[in-house]
């Protein structure tokens, strides 16, 4: 059975960071935004550990902890206290509360994992679980909207993916569809007659079969009231019309944990290639940055000892490119990988302008990089 | 009032930004004004005790979005509206002031923190009352600018 972790914090930011920290582990993370909610979730889910913020509205961490300790069913649950206040007196006060450990903000995700891992048995998700699907795998999208034009629009907007879109106009039809096959993701119009979108959402969440399927609400941009209602109800995300399909695809990919890293990482001729695209946006930077360590480790695990940083498609080597490149090359050094950088003369000259990259040695092609790497000498990072 | 407030703030901002955002931050008096026409976001947290005050962290909207994106490991498109940015800026402010509070507490000046709040706008200034000491610090965060304003009042 997967271990359950409950994070109780009034800051959604902290809850998201904690959830993200455990993303690659085989566990379930539950969230609550104050002590009252925390106690309710703890009673319902019986978590294996609670990460508890100290300062919260409605009921703070100290009060929640004392209520936990006075409840025979909950008192054995280990608690790690999280606080922004590291003063000696505060630390002593926390230690006396009966917590198993405490963490001071700011904190690294790795530290939360390490501290939790000391108390409960955390296992990495198996390879098959982590990489269940890629962005270019077949995905079944169910669209529930009473306007055929919207169904057609979504079908057309996703037509450059291998995903299949099924349209249904009424909630009853959607429930019938779900009883026959399980969609990967469901897009529901929030403006279906008589609040149909909301009642469908409740039905989907009440069913064991569909309760884990992400449900997005479709709403006109200006219909703020129904969007707020949907957020409160627990819709996975809100998609506003007119639909930005690039945004929709990224949200679907994120909700389904689809692997997009293959666009940038490739294993070729016994070498891991990290290829940055011409259009190097902050989104690309995040996607590559989030996958860098795991992809390089994976390559090392599979016996590769060389990496090529390919900047040949990059238009401009600005500071964001340099920073990412530097992270990649430092990781290579850390893991003793031979490495090499490919780039045009223009990009090479731009890199010389930065302290961090002024010593990078460039080659022009992948073949030249292979020759350098097979020659035995690592390129300076 | 607090003689080494510059050092305290610098240490707090440096630690929070390097730990949470992997950003190198340094005090930089040369960038002494927010000079672009972009809207700004200010996260603020107050502290009340023997020494009371408020700390504001200002940045441009775009830098605040970048910080949120980095903090949460999300792409820019995944940041929905201002709420996530507000929460992230509030949390960063809370951590900076939490760090300051800890140092003050260790010196026998305990205080409690207020909940974070956010101000957004294009042309606004914080004006202290006359009995308040005001200090402004400019930070260079890998080429982006962060301004930290501290208002202090002794009791």
pLDDT in tens, A224-245: 889 989 988 889 899 998 998 8
Chain B interface disruption, residue of A286, A292, A354, most B CBs within 10 A: A286
Check residues A65 and A133 and name the one with the higher pLDDT: A65
The answer to whether A11 contacts chain B (CB < 8 Å) is yes
Distances (CA, A) of B88 to A112, A376, B93, B120: 18, 46, 9, 14
Go through the domains of chain B in sequence order and give each one's CATH number: 5-154 (3.40.1550.10)
Topology of the domain comprising A262-375: Transcription Regulator spoIIAA (3.30.750)
DSSP annotation of A184: S
Residue intervals of chain A classified under CATH 3.30.750.24 are: 262-375
* Contact (CB<8Å) A11/B69: no
CATH class given for the domain over A4-125: alpha beta
Chain centroid to CA A200: 27
Contact in structure between A234 and A205 (CB atoms under 8 Å):
yes
Residuewise pLDDT in 10s, chain B (155 residues): 778 899 999 999 999 998 898 888 999 877 766 656 678 899 999 999 888 999 999 999 999 999 998 888 777 777 877 889 999 999 999 999 999 988 888 888 888 888 899 998 877 777 777 778 899 999 998 888 899 999 988 76
- DSSP, collapsed to helix, strand or coil, labels residue A322 as helix
Of B69, B84, B101, the CB nearest to A87: B101
User: How many CB atoms sit inside 10 A of residue A92's CB?
Assistant: 9
In this prediction, residues A8-14 reach a mean pLDDT of 91
Which of A38, A40, A42 is CA-nearest to residue A9?
A: A38
Kindly list the residues from chain A whose CB atom is less than 8 angstroms away from the CB atom of residue B117.
none
* Contact (CB<8Å) A106/B90: no
Please say if the pLDDT value at position A201 is more than 50.
yes
Of A108, A237, A290, the CB nearest to B73: A290
Distances (CA, A) of A133 to A124, A253, A350, B23: 17, 10, 37, 32
Residue intervals of chain A classified under CATH 3.40.50.2300 are: 4-125, 140-255
CA A80, A82, A88, A92 torsion-angle sign: negative
Right CATH for A140-255 from 3.40.50.2300, 3.40.50.720, 1.20.210.10, 3.30.1600.10 = 3.40.50.2300
ipTM confidence score = 0.84
Kindly list the residues from chain A whose CB atom is less than 8 angstroms away from the CB atom of residue B95.
84, 105-106
Alpha-carbon distance of A375 to A98, in angstroms, equals 59
- B100 to chain A, closest Cα gap in Å: 9
* Contact (CB<8Å) A286/B15: no
- Which residues partner with A49 through β-bridges? A5
In this prediction, residues A108-115 reach a mean pLDDT of 87
Kindly list the residues from chain A whose CB atom is less than 8 angstroms away from the CB atom of residue B143.
319
- A36 to chain B, closest Cα gap in Å: 18
**Interface size between A and B, measured as CB pairs under 8 A:** 94
- B5 to chain A, closest Cα gap in Å: 17
Those residues with Cβ within 8 angstroms of residue A43's Cβ, 6 or more apart along the chain or in another chain: A71, A73, A74
pLDDT in tens, B37-65: 678 899 999 999 888 999 999 999 999 99
* pLDDT, position A83: 84
């Amino acid at each position: 059975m997967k271990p359950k972790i409950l994070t109780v914090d009034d800051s959604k930011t902290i809850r998201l960071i904690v959830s993200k920290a455990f993303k690659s582990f085989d566990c379930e993370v539950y969230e609550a935004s104050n002590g009252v909610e925390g106690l309710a979730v703890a009673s319902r889910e019986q978590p294996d550990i609670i990460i508890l913020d100290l300062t919260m509205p409605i009921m703070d961490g100290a009060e929640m902890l004392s209520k936990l300790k006075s409840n025979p069913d909950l008192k054995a649950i280990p608690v790690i206290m999280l606080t922004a206040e590291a003063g000696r007196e505060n630390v002593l006060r926390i230690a006396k509360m009966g917590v198993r450990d405490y963490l001071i903000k700011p904190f690294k995700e790795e530290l939360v994992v390490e501290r939790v891992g000391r108390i409960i048995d955390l296992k990495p998700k198996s390879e098959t679980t982590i990489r269940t699907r890629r962005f270019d795998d077949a995905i079944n999208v169910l669209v529930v909207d009473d306007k055929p034009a919207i169904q057609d629009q979504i079908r057309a907007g996703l037509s450059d993916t291998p995903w299949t879109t099924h349209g249904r106009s009424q909630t009853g039809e959607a429930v019938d569809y779900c009883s026959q096959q399980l969609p990967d993701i469901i897009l529901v119009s929030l403006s279906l007659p008589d609040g149909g979108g909301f009642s469908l959402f409740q039905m989907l969440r009440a069913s064991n079969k569909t309760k884990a399927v992400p449900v997005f609400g479709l709403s006109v941009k200006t219909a703020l009231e129904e969007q707020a209602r949907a957020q409160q109800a627990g819709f996975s995300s809100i998609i506003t019309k007119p639909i930005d399909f690039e945004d929709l695809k990224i949200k679907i990919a994120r909700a389904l944990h689809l692997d997009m890293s293959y666009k940038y990482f490739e294993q070729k001729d016994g070498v891991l290639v990290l290829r940055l695209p011409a259009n190097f946006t902050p989104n690309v930077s995040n996607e590559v940055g989030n996958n860098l360590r795991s992809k390089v480790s994976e390559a090392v695990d599979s016996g590769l000892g060389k990496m090529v940083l390919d900047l040949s498609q990059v238009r401009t080597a600005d500071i964001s490119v340099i920073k990412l490149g530097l992270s990649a090359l430092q990781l290579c050094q850390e893991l003793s990988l031979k490495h090499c950088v490919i780039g045009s003369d223009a990009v090479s000259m731009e890199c010389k302008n930065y302290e961090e990259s002024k010593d990078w040695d460039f080659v022009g092609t992948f073949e030249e990089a292979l020759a350098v790497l097979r020659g035995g000498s690592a390129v300076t990072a | 009032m607090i003689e080494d407030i510059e050092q305290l703030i610098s240490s707090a901002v440096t630690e929070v930004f390097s730990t949470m955002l992997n950003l190198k931050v340094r005090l930089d008096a040369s960038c002494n004004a927010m000079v672009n026409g972009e809207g700004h976001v200010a996260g603020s947290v107050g502290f009340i005790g023997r020494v009371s005050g408020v700390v504001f962290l200002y940045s441009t909207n775009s830098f605040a979005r970048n910080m949120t994106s980095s903090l949460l490991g999300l792409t820019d498109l995944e940041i929905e509206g201002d709420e996530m940015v507000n929460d992230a800026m509030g949390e960063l402010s809370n951590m900076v002031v939490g760090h300051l509070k800890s140092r003050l507490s260790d010196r026998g000046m305990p205080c409690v923190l207020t909940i974070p709040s956010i101000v957004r706008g294009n042309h606004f200034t914080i004006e202290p009352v006359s009995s308040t000491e005001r200090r402004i610090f400019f930070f260079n965060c890998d080429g982006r600018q962060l301004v930290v304003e501290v208002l202090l009042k002794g009791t």
